[in-house]
Amino acid sequence: MNLLIALLLAAQSSPHLKVCGVDWPPFSYAEQGNLKEGISVEIHQEVAHRLGMSLTLLELPWGRCEQYVNTELADGILDNAPLPGCYHSDLATAFYPLAAYVRSDSPLQTFSWEMAKGLKVGMVRGYDYTDRIKHFTGWVPIKAHSDKQLLLMLEKSRVDMIVLDYFSAPILSKEQDVKIRALTPFIDSTPLYLCFGKQRAELLPAYNKALQQMLDEGVLDRIYLRYLGEDYRTLKEKQERMKAAQ
């Protein structure tokens, strides 16, 4: 622990972190403008605690969150893809398996890139989808402001299917009372990280050590088990197998 604090102090004198993100159950749950609980919230709160830092987690629309980090109003984005300009830890702290969802009364059963050609597909404006999804030109992308709006668009048949992540889709479906069904197989999957802006990139050596300790001690496994019924290591292995098969 002393080593971690020494690394932190050597890297950055500010004892406070301000991170923004979106309401994304079960990884983050928003309440009155802040992210209060969830898998990612608990993980990064524990890291901050081990580093002797305070952590503020703001709920912001994705595009505004990116602007906050770019203008140094926030130090990082919670659960972001490892894009250029993302300074992230060695260990992913969240996973983003994406599936195509249809209304429960839809005749569609399986997903393929061929069957998706010509369909109207709902996605959230500003989300960092994988390259495979972003660059596919066969479908007609219809943009929404949030995952919840996606569900309403699907319910009213304004789109043929929507792209949601596999973990949060059942929660959102229940909250919005919209019956949906996932097509198989998954469209794609990507690991996610707390992405620091360059102004706080020097925190990474200490952050990496804290996360590795939490993995070794089983802390990450216990957090994941409480929310998802599967441990961190199992989901990480599934993610790696999926990417290897592509």
Reported as a single tens digit per residue, the pLDDT across 200-242 is: 999 999 999 999 999 999 999 999 999 999 999 998 888 777 6
Q: State both tokens at 47.
A: 């890291």
Tell me the pLDDT of the chain (246 aa) as tens digits: 555 554 444 444 568 999 999 999 899 999 999 999 999 999 999 999 999 999 999 999 998 999 999 999 999 999 998 888 899 999 999 998 899 999 999 999 999 999 999 999 999 988 878 888 999 999 999 999 988 899 999 999 999 999 998 888 998 999 999 999 999 888 988 899 999 999 999 999 999 999 999 999 999 999 999 999 999 999 888 877 766 555
Q: How far apart are CA 174 and CA 203, in angstroms?
A: 38
Helices 169-176 & 147-155 angle (0-180, nearest 10): 60
In contact, 15 and 52? CB cutoff 8 Å = yes
Q: Is the Cα torsion angle 34, 40, 45, 47 positive or negative in sign?
A: negative
Residue identified by tokens 């989901």 is 235
Q: How far apart are CA 48 and CA 97, in angstroms?
A: 27
pTM, rounded to two decimals: 0.77
Give the β-pairing of 34-37 and 29-31.
antiparallel
pLDDT for residue 245 = 59
pLDDT for residue 13 = 53
DSSP structural state of residue 116? T
pLDDT for residue 244 = 57
pLDDT for residue 138 = 97
pLDDT for residue 8 = 47
DSSP structural state of residue 239? H
* N residues, the chain: 246
